[in-house]
A and B are shown apart, each in its own frame.
Chain A
């Protein structure tokens, strides 16, 4: 049974179809939540909240394909994560106007495994991590991020710059370790 049929049945109220959909996307969505919220239990809680909203709003969703469905589900999950972080007052950022443009060492990133990249992102401070996730991975603009997080646009830029600098250092460090392992 493909996703389109599952969505159709889930909309009609089939619990089995809802379960299949949950199992199809749960792992990916869980990792997405973990990228925003470091704690595993919190991420699980957010995942459940996200799926609850997903199934509740599924009848009103206009299905236009699997990718659209995934994008919608991702958006729900990200919103849930941001709500959680906002409740925790995680975005107490100092407004900074000056931010230097830092580019990531993409080749070095590709040398790392996905788990290593994940761990590097998760180890970033919460403000850096959120802005990095939203801008670099989700592709949002600074204005949108500023609106979502309730911060200034400049703050978003500076947070991203600092996040990239810190990440770069870690990537290089990891790469050095990687090179050393290779030479041995």
Chain B
């Protein structure tokens, strides 16, 4: 190899070695490259695996939230759980219960004419029910409690009457026909008064007669206003 050839070779090699950019291509963004190198040097750069891990966790969380919201919107089945009754109540006919059974207490199950009077509110301890929950119900469990008839309540539970009887006095309602009977009775009393006190001269004054008739009260305690049309 001649010295010229060696010079030529070192020339293009040296040029290639000291080359800093190519024609027609954007140069390296040193600021960004340094930033990345610096972050890596001083441990600011996050591990890529950790980023993927947290992204995946966030996605799973979002899916769970979405599914929960979607399940909430679905119409709920009528009964999700079955309540096992105590042995004494098992023989009873099934009682149709309303949808909202929560905190509800009904004395009579059947609609029959009965002498029972609701005298007040009863606070009672119902027997503990064994609740069997279906495994697929995750969010909500509805406990459908069966309503006991009064006889069962007396047997099994310790019902305590806490409120007193609260009966309001009311004026009896009188029919108009009854009023006519009372009217005749009043007339009779008035006649008696007249005969007994015959000595007393009853003025046939229009005003007095009207007042006497108006004031005369009935024996039954009803106030009767009688208007005479004597002229």
Say whether, besides A27-B28, A109-B12, A48 and B36 are in contact (CB < 8 Å).
yes
For B12, list chain A residues within 8 Å (CB). 106, 109-110, 112, 114, 117
Q: What residues on A are CB-neighbors of B176 within 8 Å?
A: none
User: Shortest distance in angstroms between A107's beta carbon and chain B's nearest beta carbon?
Assistant: 6
Q: Is A98 an interface residue when CB atoms closer than 8 A count as contact? A: no
**Interface 1/0 per residue, B1-28 and A, CB below 8 Å:** 0000100110111011111111111011
Closest residue to A26 on the B side, CB-wise? Answer: B30
A64 at the interface (CB under 8 A from B): no
Interface size class of A (residues with CB under 8 A): 35 or more
Q: How many residues of B contact A (CB 8 A)?
A: 27
Task: Give every chain A residue within 8 A of B20 (Cβ-Cβ).
Answer: 27-28, 31
- Are A31 and B19 neighbours in the complex by a CB distance under 8 Å? yes
**Chief secondary structure at chain B's binding surface:** helix
Nearest B residue to A54 by beta-carbon distance?
Answer: B37
B210 at the interface (CB under 8 A from A): no
Q: Which label, helix, strand, loop or mixed, suits the secondary structure of the A interface?
A: helix
Q: How far is the CA of A27 from the CA of B17 in the complex (A)?
A: 11
Q: Mark A132-167, 1 if CB is under 8 A from B, else 0.
A: 000011000000000000000000000000000000
Is A114 a contact partner of B19 (Cβ separation < 8 A)? Answer: yes
A91 at the interface (CB under 8 A from B): no
Decide yes or no whether A84 CB sits under 8 A from chain B: no
Q: B31 — nearest CB in chain A belongs to which residue? A: A23
A31 touches B21 (CB 8 A): yes
Are B11 and A15 in contact, CB atoms less than 8 angstroms apart? Answer: no
List of B residues within 8 angstroms of A169 by Cβ:
none
How far is A92 from B9 in the complex, measured between Cα atoms in Å? Answer: 30
Interface residues in chain B, defined as those with a beta carbon under 8 Å from any beta carbon in chain A: 5, 8-9, 11-13, 15-25, 27-28, 30, 33-34, 36-38, 40-41
Q: Which 6 A-B pairs have the closest CB atoms?
A: A27-B20, A106-B8, A115-B23, A114-B15, A30-B28, A48-B37
